[in-house]
Structures are given as structure tokens and as C-alpha cells.
Amino acid sequence: MILPHTGRALADAAPVPYWLDRPERPDPLPPLTGAHTADLLVIGGGYGGLWAALLAKQADPDADVLLVDAGTCGWAASGRNGGFCSASLTHGLANGVARFPGEVAELERLGRENLAAIAATVDAYGIDCDFERTGELAVAVRPYQLDGLAEDAELARGFGHDVRLLGRDEVRAEVDSPTYLGGMWDRDRVAMLDPAKLAWGLRRACLDLGVRIHEHTRVTGLRGDAAALAASTAGGVEQAPGVVRARRVVLTTNAFPPLLRRLRAWVVPVYDYALMTEPLTDAQRDAIGWRNRQGLADTGNQFHYYRITRDGRILFGGYDAVYHHGNRVAPELEQRPATFTALAEHFFTTFPQLADVRFSHRWGGVIDTCTRFCPFFGTAYDGRLAYAAGYTGLGVGATRFGARVMLDLLAGTDTPLTRLALVRGKPLPFPPEPVRAAGIHLTRWSLARADARDGRRNPWLRTLDRLGLGFDS
């Protein structure tokens, strides 16, 4: 049943990402035209590409680094996410233990170092992105989920993490929702930040170091010869086509149609959606608490993630993970009224004391997911191109690590990063259409059914478990 105030709450929500709909957004840089050369060409101006360009210039200030993006830096997933910057490189500790048991301790160490390096970069370059080491609070909203939280806490403590199990009264003292039965506060592995401001800050840092950036520049093809790779760019009504010849290329297009055909087997684009409220009043803030500003997530298969912003808004997203046949990606898919209505209903169920709150923004974005839920890496064109993809919604932090891996791969040397099984292996491929879409939709239905049946997994999900496949919202 739709609550009577849900429609009113959504009525004036702008159909654009809140993070990108602000005056701080920088003016776009000119598109690339004509012929250019570079030592390193970075294709994609999200976090992965920006980190790669920044790290490359830090390592070699004399290197000629050129970055291009089909839109503007941070306009896609990097400017639309919830702003959870996790130390995990494996989409959670349990997933890392299951897939990389022999090196998960090393991956956890690298992840902690990576998060510390992000914090140091934010400080060193004066990036005002509201970076806060508040941690993440996972909450149980069904009795069966309490056992899972206890298991997660025991596993985390075994790797030295600072986690605290909370009972019903304790978790509601942190954030007051009548739906909460317990929680686990992971206090050292997650920071909260403003995702668009991080992207814009990295962009500015790159420009200050001498990286050349061209926005609204879509690469349409790659070809190689003995000396370089040539990237062709599309022209427009008032834009001539261009070409860049580069000794090395970093490819970070993630969920968008790949320039390498091989990536189509490993990545599917999945749409995720979010709402942002208007700023809460003091009375509304008092009604829910949330003084420690943790990121929150409930623990169902179809989970919600939510957080509070610097100016007291609540972002509430997740639940639906929508795949469109044929890996379709299109601007009109960023709006899905049925999902926004469902999210609003879930928000008011979580916080009935906020029944008079209205939403200011509603939006969607596309996530690059793979069957192991965490990034994979590789090279092409005889080692002259490196790529990373498959972050599955946990790329705010892991993309910096991915950039380091790509630069190591391009150097062609044996390093501790390139020796990792995480880096050397690949996820199992998705089947071709129409089996791909049918399998994804069956999995989504099965996950929802498991949530409704106290977590009991049906034969289809158990089969995927045995095969090492998976699909999660």
C-alpha cells in the first residue's frame, strides 16, 4: 500500500543527481580536436581515470598525460554514488575470503593503506569533499539477519578490524528506526565523502600538475601499430573529430560500451537509484539521532544504503538493481518512477518520524558489475593498454588501487600488485543474450524471494553459489 504522503514527498524532486546539481560544479573543459600525441592517454574521467592520471604525473612529472571523457569528469558513477569510501578491495571481507583465501590478509592490508592514501591526497591537495572517517553501521531489520551480523563481526575481528555489535537499544541510540533489531558498527574501514567534490578535486589536482584534460570527447575506436596506439574521437555539429597517438593507454570506461570486445563477456551494466531529501530541521534531526554520521546499510540481499550529508540531508538508495537486455545503457534509464516510489515507501517505513520530509532529487546511474563483485584487470595491444572494471558499486575507494595496478601493468614489471591473484585472475563470464538477461532476472527474483523467506536460498541461488557466480544489488 502506497502511503498517502509518498506522492507529495516526491512531487518536486528534481530528476538529476543531487551531487552534480550545485554551483560548485566546474565549467567543462574544451573538447579535443585535431591530432595529438601523449606518453599516456587516459580514457575516462571518473575516479579510475583521474587517479591514474594523478599517480602517473606524481611518479613522473615530465610525462605528457592526456585524459579524455565523453562527458565531464565525474558525471557518471563517480558523481552519482552514495559517497561510501571503503577500505575493502574485494567488495567486503566475506567476498574476499571466499574468492581469495590465500591473500585476503594482504588485500586487507593494501586496502587500509589505500584508504589512508586517499585521505592523505585529500589533505595534500586541499580537496574539500567532506571526508569523514565515521565508519559504516550495518543494521538487521529481520531476526534472521542478526546471526549474519554476528558472523561478520567475528570474521572482521579475526583480521584485526574495529567492529562493535549493537543490540536493539544500542543501535537505536545511534540511529533511531523502529525497524532496527541490531547492528554492527565497522568503525575503521569506511569514510563518508561528497563524491562529486572528490572527482572535481582530483580533476583540479591533475590540471595543477600539468595533465591535459579534454571533456565532451568520446573515443570511438582504438588501433595499434608498432610505435603507438591511436585513439579516434567523435566530432559533433561544432566539433571536428580528433585523434591521439599515445605510447600507453589506460581504459576506465567501466559500465559503458567497451572499446575492447573481450570486456563485454565480463561486465554487465546495472542501474541503481537514489533519493535525496531536503535538509532536515533541527527537530527532525533530533527525532532520529545519527550524531555520529555513520554510513548505513541494511543486510538483506536487496539492501538499502543511506547516509547524512554535511548540510543535513539524507541520501537513500539501493534496493533495485535493474539490468536491461543487451547491456543497454541510455539516459532515459536513469529515471524509474516505480523504483523511486518504492524507495520513498521504504524510507518512510524506516523513519516514520520523518513523514513530513520531502525529496529534493531523484536519480539513477549505471554500475559495472561482474560475477565476482570486485574489480578485475588486464592488458591488451601487447601490454600497451591496461584496463580495470567490475567494481560493482564499491569503487569510490578501490579505484585508486585499480589505478596503481593499471600503471604497474603498463610498466611491464613484476610488482607485488601484479603478482596478486586478484590481479592475475578473471571473473567467470556472463552468458550471451538472451540467456544473460534471463539469468539475471531469475537471480534478481530469487534474491527478493530469499529476503521474503528469512534468507532461505532457492535451488537457483544455491547453484550459483556452487559455481562461484553471483548477482547482488
Give the 3-state secondary structure of the chain. CCCCCHHHHHCCCECCCHHHCCCCCCCCCCCCCEEEEEEEEEECCCHHHHHHHHHHHHHCCCCCEEEECCCCCCCCHHHCCCCEEECCCCCCHHHHHHHCCCCHHHHHHHHHHHHHHHHHHHHHCCCCCCCECCCEEEEECCCCHHHHHHHHHHHHHHCCCCEEEECHHHHHHHECCCCCCEEEEECCCEEECCHHHHHHHHHHHHHHHCCEEECCCCEEEEEECCCCEEEEECCECCECCEEEEEEEEEECCCCCCCCCHHHHHCCEEEEEEEEEECCCCHHHHHHHECCCCCEEEECCCCCEEEEECCCCCEEEEECCCECCCCCCCCHHHHCCHHHHHHHHHHHHHHCHHHCCCCEEEEEEEEEEECCCCCCEEEEECCCCEEEEECCCCCHHHHHHHHHHHHHHHHHCCCCCCCCCHHHHCCCCCCCCCCHHHHHHHHHHHHHHHHHHCCCCCCHHHHHHHHHCCCCCC
In the chain, what are the domain boundaries? Answer: 5-18+133-192+266-370, 434-467
| The pLDDT of residue 12 is above 50 | yes
Please give the Cα distance from 201 to 129 (Å, whole number).
8
Amino acid letter, residue 227: A
| Structure confidence at residue 473 (pLDDT) | 46
pTM above 0.85, yes or no: yes
Tens-place pLDDT, residues 354-382: 999 999 999 999 999 999 999 999 999 99
Radius of gyration of the chain (CA): 22
| The pLDDT of residue 22 is above 80 | yes
Tens-place pLDDT, residues 90-125: 999 999 999 999 999 999 999 999 999 999 999 999
Please give the Cα distance from 12 to 278 (Å, whole number).
10
Tens-place pLDDT, residues 173-193: 999 999 999 999 999 899 999
| Structure confidence at residue 1 (pLDDT) | 47
| The pLDDT of residue 39 is above 80 | yes
| Structure confidence at residue 455 (pLDDT) | 86
Q: Average pLDDT over the chain, rounded to whole?
A: 94
Give the mean pLDDT of 229-258.
87
Superfamily of chain region 5-18+133-192+266-370: D-Amino Acid Oxidase, subunit A, domain 2 (3.30.9.10)
Give the mean pLDDT of 415-434.
96
| Structure confidence at residue 268 (pLDDT) | 95
Strands 242-251 and 385-389: parallel
Identify which of 218-227, 310-319, 451-460 has the greatest average pLDDT: 310-319
Tens-place pLDDT, residues 448-469: 888 888 888 989 888 888 877 7
Query: In the chain, pLDDT over 90 holds for what percent of residues?
Result: 88
CB atoms within 10 A of CB 237: 4
pLDDT band for position 227 (cuts 50, 70, 90): confident
Query: In the chain, pLDDT over 70 holds for what percent of residues?
Result: 97
| The pLDDT of residue 471 is above 70 | no
pLDDT band for position 238 (cuts 50, 70, 90): low
| Structure confidence at residue 239 (pLDDT) | 67
| Structure confidence at residue 106 (pLDDT) | 98
